[in-house]
């Protein structure tokens, strides 16, 4: 299991992919597999952990230097293990692009989970290297946006360890938004909906390089320390308590969200999600059971008034039955079996 080099597993704060990789490792170990996790320093897992680079790089996410160094060291370790008579069967990659580009130089099959959206550039990349690795989507919405002719090996959702998240059947009187401060994530629309509903809104998440202008223009003028508050980046127990005690979680996105881990984290706490019907939100939100799908800020505000209709216990159960680590690991297990008996099932059709 090849995790990105940026943040340890589990992450101390921001780190959606790291949470996913950690939970998947736990699920595979519980199914009886021998798993080695190559990850950033400080990582912990029931899998065998092998730290790769000398330090983490949380403020340099996406820098090719560190990804290439990280992946190259792992590939050398994989070759060394094979030379010692203890080869791996599969490399499951969760990094950016390096392992896929080098997959034809690796002695074992490469499974690559698509954690990001398809763009003009990434579509061209995957089409070029399509016959080298097994590509797996994390939602049907993501698969539907694949470039024409690109065959994917399957859809396996992200896992969550529901027992790690606190359950609160009684909620406090605030709604929550958590994410990166990018326009398409919709923090400004969450503010508008909360004001329309006359309910307190808590905002949390990192302001990453390039997001400062949006934050200063669209968010900062509305922060009053009372109805609209910004808490900064949160993680660990504080983040969990924010999810658990919220009246509702707001997801006013305006893009094709590949998955949206924050939605299932909220639901795991028994907190319903009110989302715009974009991307994987239409697959994760089950209206009336664990949240509502709405069209704009006005209908989001109206839905906030109706979240009391949702049973928090049923909300939590809806996540556990679909996204627990064993269920997700079994989905990957089926792909692993195909991988070990045939050539890559991806490729460009025609």
Residue range 16-159+324-339, CATH number: 3.40.50.2000
pLDDT score recorded for residue 342: 78
pLDDT score recorded for residue 350: 39
Instruction: Examine domains 16-159+324-339 and 162-322 and report if their fold is the same.
Output: yes
- Rounded (10°) angle between helices 261-268 and 312-323: 130
What CATH superfamily is the domain 162-322? Answer: Glycogen Phosphorylase B; (3.40.50.2000)
Q: Is the distance from CB of 275 to CB of 304 less than 8 angstroms?
A: no
pLDDT tens for the chain, residues 1 to 350: 999 999 999 988 777 899 999 999 999 999 999 999 999 999 999 999 999 999 999 888 889 999 999 999 999 999 999 999 999 999 999 998 999 999 999 899 999 999 999 999 999 999 999 899 999 999 999 999 999 888 899 999 999 999 999 999 999 999 999 999 999 999 999 999 999 999 999 999 989 889 999 999 999 999 999 999 999 988 889 999 999 999 999 999 999 999 999 999 999 999 999 999 999 999 999 999 999 999 999 999 999 999 999 999 999 999 999 999 999 999 999 999 999 987 555 555 53
Tell the burial category of 313 from Cβ atoms under 10 Å away from its Cβ (0-12, 13-18, 19+).
exposed
> What is the sign, positive or negative, of the torsion defined by CA atoms of 211, 212, 213, 219?
positive
pLDDT score recorded for residue 348: 56
What is the rounded distance in angstroms from the CA atom of residue 258 to the CA atom of residue 267? Answer: 17
Domain limits, the chain: 16-159+324-339, 162-322
Q: Is the distance from CB of 335 to CB of 154 less than 8 angstroms?
A: yes
What is the rounded distance in angstroms from the CA atom of residue 113 to the CA atom of residue 313? Answer: 31
> What is the sign, positive or negative, of the torsion defined by CA atoms of 251, 256, 262, 263?
positive
User: In the chain, how many H helices and how many E strands?
Assistant: 13, 12
Backbone φ and ψ for 278, nearest 5 degrees, come out as -120, 140
E-strand ranges in 243-341 read: 248-251, 273-275, 291-293
């Amino acid at each position: 299991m090849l995790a990105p080099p940026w943040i340890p597993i589990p992450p101390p704060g921001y780190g959606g992919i790291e949470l996913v990789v950690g939970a998947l490792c736990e699920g595979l170990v519980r199914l009886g597999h021998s798993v080695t996790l190559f990850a950033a320093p400080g990582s912990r897992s029931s899998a065998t952990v092998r730290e790769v680079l000398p330090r983490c790089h949380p403020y340099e996410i996406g820098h090719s230097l560190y990804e290439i160094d990280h992946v190259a060291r792992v590939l050398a370790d994989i070759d060394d293990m094979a030379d010692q008579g203890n080869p791996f069967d599969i490399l499951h990659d969760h990094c950016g692009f390096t392992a896929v580009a080098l997959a034809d130089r690796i002695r074992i099959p490469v499974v690559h989970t698509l954690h990001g959206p398809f763009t003009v550039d990434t579509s061209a990349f995957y089409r070029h290297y399509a016959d080298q690795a097994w590509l797996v989507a994390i939602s049907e919405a993501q698969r539907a946006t694949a470039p024409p002719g690109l065959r994917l090996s399957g859809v396996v959702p992200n896992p969550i360890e529901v027992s790690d998240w606190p359950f609160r059947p009684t909620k406090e009187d605030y709604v929550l938004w958590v994410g990166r401060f990018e326009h398409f994530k919709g923090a400004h629309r969450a503010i508008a909906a909360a004001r329309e509903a006359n309910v307190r809104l808590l905002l949390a998440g990192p302001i990453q390089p390039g997001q400062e202008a949006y934050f200063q223009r669209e968010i900062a003028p509305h922060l009053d320390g009372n109805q609209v508050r910004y808490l900064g980046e949160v993680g660990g127990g504080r983040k969990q308590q924010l999810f658990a005690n919220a009246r509702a979680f707001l997801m006013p996105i305006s893009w094709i969200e590949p998955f949206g881990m924050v939605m299932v984290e909220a639901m795991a706490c028994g907190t319903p999600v009110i989302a715009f019907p974009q991307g994987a939100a239409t697959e994760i939100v089950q209206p009336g059971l664990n949240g509502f799908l709405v069209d704009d800020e006005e209908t989001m505000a109206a839905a906030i008034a109706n979240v009391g209709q949702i049973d928090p216990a049923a909300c939590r159960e809806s996540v556990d039955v679909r996204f627990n680590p064993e269920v997700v690991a079994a989905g990957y297990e089926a792909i692993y079996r195909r991988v070990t008996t045939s050539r890559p099932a991806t490729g460009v059709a025609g």
